[in-house]
Amino acid sequence: MTHSHDAMTEELYRETILDHNANPRNNGPLDDASFSEASLNPSCGDRFTLHVKLSEDGSSVEAVRFEGIGCAISTASMSLFSEKLTGMSVEEVRQLDKQFVYDLLGVPISAAREKCALVSLKTAQTGLRLFEGRDA
């Protein structure tokens, strides 16, 4: 173990993440959601539910809300991601990769926090896949 982490620490919990953790955006229930998906991150006890409302033709995301509690990284991930998700086409959501979320968070993510960071993406894509499977 080295002593070189302090600068990173400040970076890691820099203002954006602390702000989104303390005041998560799009937080709360969504009455007319097209689908709701619960997160699965059993190691740390984080529990989120992501609500997504699609446009009438099902091609794009009209509204996103989320509920639940988690660590600062996962809460900020849900909050930041929910902002970006709104207005996106379903096809775009399908194509999103890890890097998209890492860029949103903007800080180095250690292997131990990968699940926390990616909870938003994983929940959204799983929810979408299950929703479309149900539809087919």
- Strands 35-38 and 47-54, sheet pairing: antiparallel
Q: How far is the CB of 43 from another protein (least distance, A)?
A: 6
Ramachandran area for residue 42 (φ above 0: left; ψ -120 to 50: alpha; else beta):
alpha
Q: How far is the CB of 6 from another protein (least distance, A)?
A: 7
Using the CB atoms, write b or e for 64-79: b if 16+ within 10 Å: bbbbbebbbbbbbbbb
- Per CB under 8 A, residues contacting another protein are 1, 3, 5-6, 8-10, 12-13, 18, 43-47, 69-75, 110, 112-113, 116
With respect to another protein, which residue has the nearer C-beta, 18 or 130? 18
With respect to another protein, which residue has the nearer C-beta, 58 or 108? 108
With respect to another protein, which residue has the nearer C-beta, 72 or 88? 72
Tokens of 15: 């203002």
Q: How far is the CB of 92 from another protein (least distance, A)?
A: 30
With respect to another protein, which residue has the nearer C-beta, 11 or 62? 11
Give the distance, in angstroms, between the CA of residue 15 and the centroid of all CA atoms in the same chain: 18
